Amino acid sequence: MSVKTSINIPDGIFDEAKKLSENFSSVVADALKEYIRKKKVEKAAASFAKWGKRDKKSTKIVNDMRKEESRSYANRSR
């Protein structure tokens, strides 16, 4: 499935992309896939830094959360 959309692209960028491939849609789709992958990696890397600032190990934090009554659905120690 695909979505048709209109976007404004500077002439120079469009011309360079057309030199690389006759299928402009695939060039844009590939670029968006790479952009999304890069942003996901950045988000994941930023979240790792947050765990490092805690005074307990991450496994201890997760296990403590699992012990809370309100989170019993996440208890995997059964």
9-22 residue pLDDT tens:
999 999 999 999 99
* pLDDT, tens only, 28-39: 999 999 999 999
Of 66 and 71, the one with more pLDDT: 66
Burial classification of residue 46, based on how many CB atoms lie within 10 Å of its CB (0-12 exposed, 13-18 middle, 19 or more buried): exposed
- What confidence category does residue 24 fall into, taking pLDDT thresholds of 50, 70 and 90? very high
In this structure, what are the phi and psi dihedrals at residue 19, rounded to the nearest 5 degrees?
-70, -30
pLDDT, average across residues 42-58: 72
Q: Where are the alpha helices (DSSP H) in the chain?
A: 11-20, 24-52, 58-67
Of 68 and 11, the one with more pLDDT: 11
